[in-house]
């Protein structure tokens, strides 16, 4: 099982860094989406900032996932507030993805479910690992 967590630690790192780099690249779909929506409504900078904070929290969680996967004793366990902050951030900091899933649901229920699953399933093991690091003994 430790081999799975080692593999997943690198997969999660790739997911997080890809998301962060796309968010900061003005020519990516994320950048075009946020720049366009901010032009039409200055208040839309708030979801953009929430997405940036979500990326920073996810980068922080990467350290703990690596500590869990490679059983690093020098790294402290994940604090409980980080788990709840990450959960809140994942629910509020994905405006682009939320609109994308909405558009999938407008194409059909199956497409919407597949789009939602493609966003949730890759990060689900990271929540399991963070839960174990935070609330149970390893």
pLDDT per residue, tens digit, the chain (138 aa), is: 789 999 999 999 999 999 999 988 989 999 999 999 999 999 999 999 999 999 999 999 999 999 999 988 888 888 999 999 999 999 999 999 999 999 999 999 999 999 999 999 999 999 999 999 998 764
pLDDT of residue 137: 62
Task: Let me know if residue 32 belongs to a domain.
Answer: yes
pTM of the model: 0.90
Residue 108 located in a structural domain: no
Residue 83 lies in a domain: yes
How many C-beta neighbours within 10 Å does residue 127 have? 15
- How many independent structural domains does the chain possess? 1
Task: Tell me the pLDDT tens digit for each residue of 69-91.
Answer: 998 888 888 899 999 999 999 99
Residue 101: inside a domain: no
- Give a yes or no: residue 75 inside a domain: yes
Instruction: Give me the pLDDT at residue 53, please.
Output: 96
Q: Alpha-carbon distance 92 to 121, whole Å?
A: 18
Structural domain contains residue 38: yes
Identify whether 103 is part of a domain. no
In a domain, 82, yes or no: yes
Q: Which domain holds residue 37?
A: 2-92+124-135
């Amino acid at each position: 099982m430790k081999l799975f967590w080692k593999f997943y630690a690198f997969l999660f790192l790739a997911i997080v860094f890809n998301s962060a780099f796309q968010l900061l690249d003005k020519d990516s779909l994320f950048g075009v989406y946020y720049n366009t929506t901010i032009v039409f409504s200055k208040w839309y900078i708030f979801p953009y900032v929430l997405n940036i904070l979500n990326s920073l929290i996810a980068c922080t969680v990467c350290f703990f996932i690596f500590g869990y996967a490679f059983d690093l004793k020098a790294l402290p366990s994940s604090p409980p507030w980080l788990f709840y902050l990450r959960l809140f951030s994942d629910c509020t900091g994905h405006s682009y993805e939320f609109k994308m899933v909405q558009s999938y649901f407008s194409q059909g229920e199956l497409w919407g479910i597949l789009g939602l699953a493609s966003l949730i399933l890759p990060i689900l093991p990271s929540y399991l690992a963070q839960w174990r690091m935070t609330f149970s003994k390893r």
